[in-house]
Amino acid sequence: MPEYINEKVLQLKLTMREQYGCTVALKSPAHITLIPPFWLHESFEQNLLQDVNIVARTITPFTISTNNFSAFQPRTIFIAVQPNIYLNNLKQKTDDFFAAKENYKIKLDRRPFHPHITIATRDIHKKAFYEVWPLFEHKIFKEEWVADSISILRHNTKNWDILYTAPFTFI
Protein backbone atom coordinates (compact mmCIF):
# COMPACT_ATOMS: atom_id res chain seq x y z
CA MET A 1 0.00 0.00 0.00
CA PRO A 2 1.45 3.40 -0.89
CA GLU A 3 2.78 5.48 1.99
CA TYR A 4 0.35 8.36 1.37
CA ILE A 5 -2.60 5.99 1.91
CA ASN A 6 -0.95 4.51 5.00
CA GLU A 7 -0.64 8.10 6.30
CA LYS A 8 -4.33 8.86 5.65
CA VAL A 9 -5.30 5.64 7.42
CA LEU A 10 -2.97 6.44 10.31
CA GLN A 11 -4.62 9.85 10.78
CA LEU A 12 -8.03 8.16 11.00
CA LYS A 13 -6.70 5.64 13.54
CA LEU A 14 -5.16 8.45 15.60
CA THR A 15 -8.48 10.30 15.63
CA MET A 16 -10.18 7.15 16.91
CA ARG A 17 -7.56 6.85 19.64
CA GLU A 18 -7.86 10.50 20.70
CA GLN A 19 -11.66 10.62 20.68
CA TYR A 20 -12.63 7.07 21.66
CA GLY A 21 -9.55 5.42 23.18
CA CYS A 22 -9.21 2.88 20.36
CA THR A 23 -5.63 1.64 20.09
CA VAL A 24 -5.77 -1.91 18.65
CA ALA A 25 -5.86 -0.79 14.99
CA LEU A 26 -2.80 1.40 15.61
CA LYS A 27 -0.71 -1.72 16.23
CA SER A 28 -0.35 -2.50 12.52
CA PRO A 29 0.27 -0.61 9.31
CA ALA A 30 -2.62 -0.20 6.90
CA HIS A 31 -3.11 -3.56 5.19
CA ILE A 32 -5.58 -6.01 3.65
CA THR A 33 -5.38 -9.36 5.43
CA LEU A 34 -5.02 -12.42 3.21
CA ILE A 35 -4.17 -14.97 5.92
CA PRO A 36 -5.17 -14.49 9.56
CA PRO A 37 -2.33 -14.28 12.12
CA PHE A 38 -0.65 -17.54 13.08
CA TRP A 39 2.26 -18.57 15.25
CA LEU A 40 5.44 -19.71 13.48
CA HIS A 41 8.67 -20.90 15.04
CA GLU A 42 11.67 -18.83 13.93
CA SER A 43 13.26 -21.90 12.33
CA PHE A 44 10.51 -21.82 9.64
CA GLU A 45 10.80 -18.08 8.91
CA GLN A 46 13.19 -18.35 5.94
CA ASN A 47 10.98 -21.05 4.40
CA LEU A 48 7.99 -18.75 4.77
CA LEU A 49 9.80 -15.91 3.00
CA GLN A 50 10.71 -18.23 0.13
CA ASP A 51 7.15 -19.54 -0.11
CA VAL A 52 5.67 -16.05 -0.16
CA ASN A 53 8.05 -15.27 -3.03
CA ILE A 54 6.73 -18.32 -4.90
CA VAL A 55 3.15 -17.07 -4.55
CA ALA A 56 4.07 -13.47 -5.41
CA ARG A 57 5.79 -14.56 -8.63
CA THR A 58 2.46 -15.97 -9.88
CA ILE A 59 0.70 -12.59 -9.59
CA THR A 60 0.98 -9.54 -11.82
CA PRO A 61 0.33 -6.06 -10.39
CA PHE A 62 -3.31 -4.99 -10.32
CA THR A 63 -5.38 -2.01 -9.19
CA ILE A 64 -7.08 -1.83 -5.81
CA SER A 65 -9.81 0.73 -5.14
CA THR A 66 -11.41 1.75 -1.87
CA ASN A 67 -15.12 2.34 -1.56
CA ASN A 68 -15.69 4.60 1.46
CA PHE A 69 -16.35 3.11 4.92
CA SER A 70 -18.19 0.13 6.27
CA ALA A 71 -18.44 -1.81 9.52
CA PHE A 72 -18.76 -5.16 11.18
CA GLN A 73 -21.25 -3.81 13.71
CA PRO A 74 -20.65 -3.09 16.56
CA ARG A 75 -16.98 -4.12 16.70
CA THR A 76 -15.08 -2.79 13.68
CA ILE A 77 -15.02 0.30 11.45
CA PHE A 78 -13.04 -0.01 8.25
CA ILE A 79 -12.32 1.37 4.82
CA ALA A 80 -14.11 -0.86 2.35
CA VAL A 81 -12.00 -2.26 -0.45
CA GLN A 82 -13.78 -2.78 -3.73
CA PRO A 83 -13.61 -6.51 -4.45
CA ASN A 84 -12.15 -7.42 -7.80
CA ILE A 85 -11.22 -10.59 -9.62
CA TYR A 86 -7.47 -9.97 -9.23
CA LEU A 87 -7.67 -9.49 -5.47
CA ASN A 88 -9.90 -12.55 -5.18
CA ASN A 89 -7.41 -14.50 -7.29
CA LEU A 90 -4.56 -13.45 -4.99
CA LYS A 91 -6.55 -14.56 -1.94
CA GLN A 92 -7.42 -17.90 -3.55
CA LYS A 93 -3.84 -18.60 -4.68
CA THR A 94 -2.51 -17.70 -1.24
CA ASP A 95 -5.06 -19.91 0.52
CA ASP A 96 -4.48 -22.84 -1.84
CA PHE A 97 -0.71 -22.62 -1.56
CA PHE A 98 -0.55 -22.38 2.23
CA ALA A 99 -3.33 -24.94 2.83
CA ALA A 100 -0.98 -27.49 1.30
CA LYS A 101 1.92 -26.49 3.61
CA GLU A 102 1.20 -28.46 6.78
CA ASN A 103 4.43 -27.37 8.51
CA TYR A 104 3.04 -23.84 9.00
CA LYS A 105 -0.15 -24.99 10.75
CA ILE A 106 -2.07 -22.08 9.26
CA LYS A 107 -5.78 -22.07 10.00
CA LEU A 108 -7.32 -20.45 6.93
CA ASP A 109 -10.33 -18.22 7.38
CA ARG A 110 -13.36 -20.03 5.96
CA ARG A 111 -15.58 -16.95 6.07
CA PRO A 112 -16.14 -15.18 2.74
CA PHE A 113 -13.27 -12.86 1.78
CA HIS A 114 -14.20 -9.31 2.75
CA PRO A 115 -11.20 -7.11 1.92
CA HIS A 116 -10.93 -4.05 4.15
CA ILE A 117 -8.53 -1.69 5.94
CA THR A 118 -9.28 -1.48 9.65
CA ILE A 119 -9.70 1.88 11.39
CA ALA A 120 -11.02 0.69 14.78
CA THR A 121 -11.61 -2.82 16.10
CA ARG A 122 -12.10 -4.96 19.22
CA ASP A 123 -11.47 -2.12 21.69
CA ILE A 124 -14.23 0.16 20.45
CA HIS A 125 -17.07 0.08 22.97
CA LYS A 126 -20.61 -0.43 21.67
CA LYS A 127 -21.68 3.01 22.86
CA ALA A 128 -18.72 4.63 21.08
CA PHE A 129 -19.38 2.60 17.95
CA TYR A 130 -22.95 3.80 17.69
CA GLU A 131 -21.81 7.37 18.39
CA VAL A 132 -19.06 7.41 15.75
CA TRP A 133 -20.54 5.17 13.05
CA PRO A 134 -22.95 7.87 11.74
CA LEU A 135 -19.89 10.08 11.19
CA PHE A 136 -18.20 7.42 9.04
CA GLU A 137 -21.26 5.92 7.40
CA HIS A 138 -21.50 8.59 4.69
CA LYS A 139 -17.89 9.78 4.73
CA ILE A 140 -16.00 9.57 1.44
CA PHE A 141 -12.75 7.62 1.13
CA LYS A 142 -11.98 6.92 -2.51
CA GLU A 143 -8.43 5.91 -3.33
CA GLU A 144 -6.82 3.75 -5.96
CA TRP A 145 -3.36 2.23 -6.19
CA VAL A 146 -1.48 -0.55 -7.91
CA ALA A 147 -0.89 -3.58 -5.69
CA ASP A 148 2.55 -4.87 -6.62
CA SER A 149 3.59 -7.02 -3.66
CA ILE A 150 2.62 -9.15 -0.65
CA SER A 151 3.99 -8.32 2.79
CA ILE A 152 4.46 -10.52 5.82
CA LEU A 153 3.76 -8.88 9.16
CA ARG A 154 5.46 -10.13 12.33
CA HIS A 155 4.33 -9.34 15.85
CA ASN A 156 7.08 -7.89 18.07
CA THR A 157 5.06 -8.45 21.31
CA LYS A 158 3.53 -4.95 21.03
CA ASN A 159 2.93 -4.16 17.35
CA TRP A 160 2.93 -5.68 13.90
CA ASP A 161 5.95 -4.80 11.77
CA ILE A 162 6.49 -5.50 8.09
CA LEU A 163 9.00 -8.35 8.12
CA TYR A 164 9.30 -8.87 4.39
CA THR A 165 7.75 -7.77 1.10
CA ALA A 166 7.68 -10.04 -1.96
CA PRO A 167 7.17 -8.26 -5.29
CA PHE A 168 4.72 -9.48 -7.90
CA THR A 169 5.94 -10.37 -11.38
CA PHE A 170 6.00 -7.52 -13.86
CA ILE A 171 5.21 -8.55 -17.42
In a domain, 136, yes or no: yes
CATH number of the domain that 14 lies in?
3.90.1140.10
Phi/psi of residue 30, each to 5°?
-60, 130
| CB-count exposure of residue 134 (10 Å: 0-12, 13-18, 19+) | exposed
Sign of CA dihedral 117, 122, 124, 130: positive
* Domains identified in the chain, total number: 1
- Assess contact for 96 and 156: CB atoms under 8 A: no
Q: What is the pTM of this model?
A: 0.94
The DSSP string of 119-164 is EEESSS-HHHHHHHHHHHHT-----EEEE-EEEEEEE-SSSEEEEE
In a domain, 170, yes or no: no
Rounded to a whole number, what is the largest CA-CA distance in the chain? Answer: 50
- Assess contact for 31 and 1: CB atoms under 8 A: yes
In a domain, 99, yes or no: yes
Per-residue pLDDT of the chain (171 residues; tens, 9 = 90+): 899 999 999 999 999 999 999 999 999 999 999 999 999 988 999 999 999 999 999 999 999 999 999 999 999 999 999 989 999 999 999 999 999 998 888 888 888 999 999 999 999 999 999 999 999 999 999 999 999 999 999 999 999 999 999 999 986
3-class DSSP assignment, residue 101: coil
